[in-house]
């Protein structure tokens, strides 16, 4: 129920309660009822009929106010099933019950066939329909206005509607759990795919590095065999070429014919080495002639050679 929908539950005048007793309401009486109501101390439930124990509750009176000789109330926590029953006209009256002091609100009861003790009140809407409102006056051991058969029918209807609502809630919860599992599975699949992609990238980089090492090994071996690089220079040449390979951006170099050529620093370095004049003193002979003696002690300074590149 809309918490700000004010429902008229009493007006000034003299009326006869359900026990045949006359009760007169003045503006001061209605003002006193409104002022006395404090849901923090004692909240009045919305019930079916007028049960002695005021249970179960199908909503709670939230606020009362008195205006122009009429008493109004707002309600909170009214289930949708109750709104629907009122909308369909199963309950045509809403009755206010007071404690014996005539000031304290005991409860507000939804009535079926029972007639209101107060006539001439404005219609009330629990949902979207019209409903009459009446007032009852509480007394000790007060009975219910509805018959047992009427109450049993309404309890059966409410039970069925509550079960239906529970099934809908369970279905929605199950669907939500399935969606959450699907989302979790998707996230796990994404993480696995990312890990596989990272591993593939790392494996390719390692494979490429192995290929490049083998390529450099072949080129420096060829240079040694050609007498253009000393065997002692092999490690330095390989390390320097590997360092140059980190810069993969091609650079423009002037060729011998006057044209420019775009090659990497590493390739330029290899070409510079390959363009060196061969020195037989540094040649690597796997099977040297018998008359060949030990190689001369003097050698080419690798730092001086590379500085000229």
Tens digits of residue pLDDT in 191-222: 888 888 888 888 888 888 889 889 999 998 99
Question: What is the sign, positive or negative, of the torsion defined by CA atoms of 132, 135, 138, 143?
Answer: negative
Question: What is the sign, positive or negative, of the torsion defined by CA atoms of 222, 228, 229, 231?
Answer: positive
Q: 249 phi and psi, to 5 degrees?
A: -70, 125
Is residue 265 within 8 A of residue 247, CB to CB? The reply is yes
Q: 96 phi and psi, to 5 degrees?
A: -90, 135
Is residue 260 within 8 A of residue 254, CB to CB? The reply is yes
The pTM for the full model equals: 0.39
Q: Among candidates 300, 301, 232, 226, which has minimal Cα distance to 270?
A: 226
Tens-of-pLDDT digits for all 309 residues of the chain? 444 688 888 888 888 777 778 888 999 999 999 999 999 988 888 888 766 554 678 889 899 999 999 989 888 888 888 878 877 777 766 777 888 888 998 888 777 655 555 555 555 455 433 333 345 544 333 344 455 566 667 788 888 888 888 898 999 989 999 898 998 888 888 888 888 888 888 888 888 888 988 999 999 899 999 888 989 989 999 999 899 888 878 877 776 666 788 888 888 889 889 888 887 666 655 544 434 444 444 444 555 545 555
Separation CA 122–CA 34 (nearest Å): 18
Is residue 83 within 8 A of residue 4, CB to CB? The reply is no
User: Distance between terminal CA atoms of the chain?
Assistant: 91
- 124's CB contacts (< 8 A; 6+ apart) are 7, 8, 9, 94, 130, 131, 132, 133
Separation CA 49–CA 94 (nearest Å): 9
pLDDT score recorded for residue 156: 83
Is residue 72 within 8 A of residue 7, CB to CB? The reply is yes
pLDDT score recorded for residue 143: 41
Residues 256-267 have pLDDT tens digits of: 666 788 888 888
């Amino acid at each position: 129920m809309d918490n700000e929908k004010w429902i008229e539950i009493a007006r000034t005048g003299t009326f006869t309660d359900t026990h045949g007793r006359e009760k007169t309401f003045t503006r001061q009486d209605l003002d006193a009822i409104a002022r006395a109501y404090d849901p923090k101390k004692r909240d009045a439930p919305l019930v079916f009929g007028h049960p002695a124990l005021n249970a179960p509750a199908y909503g709670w009176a939230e606020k009362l106010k008195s205006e122009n000789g009429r008493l109004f109330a707002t309600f909170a926590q009214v289930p949708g099933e109750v709104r629907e029953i009122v909308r369909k006209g199963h309950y045509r009256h809403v009755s206010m019950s007071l404690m014996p002091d005539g000031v304290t609100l005991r409860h507000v009861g939804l009535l079926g066939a029972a007639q209101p003790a107060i006539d001439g009140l404005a219609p009330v809407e629990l949902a979207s329909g019209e409903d009459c409102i009446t007032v009852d006056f509480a007394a000790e051991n007060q009975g219910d206005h509805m018959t047992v058969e009427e109450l049993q029918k309404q309890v059966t209807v409410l039970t069925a509607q509550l079960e239906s609502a529970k099934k809908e809630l369970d279905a929605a919860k199950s669907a939500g759990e399935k969606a959450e599992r699907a989302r979790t599975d998707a996230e796990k699949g994404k993480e696995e795919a990312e890990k596989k992609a990272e591993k593939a990238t790392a494996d390719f980089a390692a494979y490429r590095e192995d290929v490049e090492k083998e390529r450099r090994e072949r080129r420096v071996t060829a240079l040694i065999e050609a007498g253009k690089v000393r065997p002692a220079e092999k490690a330095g040449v390989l390390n320097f070429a590997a360092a140059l390979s980190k810069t993969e951006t091609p650079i423009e170099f002037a060729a011998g014919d006057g044209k420019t050529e775009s090659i990497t620093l590493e390739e330029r370095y290899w070409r510079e080495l390959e363009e060196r004049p061969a020195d037989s003193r540094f040649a690597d002979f796997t099977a040297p002639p018998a008359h060949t003696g030990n190689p001369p002690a003097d050698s080419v300074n690798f730092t001086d050679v590379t500085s000229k590149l």
